[in-house]
Structure 1
Amino acid sequence: MSTPETVERALLTASVVLIVVAGAGLLARIWLGPSMLDRAISLDVCAALIIAGLAAKSAFARDSFYFPIMLVLAFLGFTGSVGIARFIAVRDRPPRRTPDDGGEGEPR
Structure 2
Amino acid sequence: MKRRRSYPAKAPRPTDADGAAPIVRKFMIDLFDREDGRAADWGLLAETVFRVGFEMADEVAGSERATALMRVVHDHAYNRLVGNESEAGGASRGPAQSPPPGRSPATAPQLKP
TM-score by length of 2: 0.31
Q: Which has the higher contact order (CA 8 A, sep 6+)?
A: 1
| TM norm structure 1 | 0.32
* Structure with larger Rg: 1
- More helix as a share of residues: 1
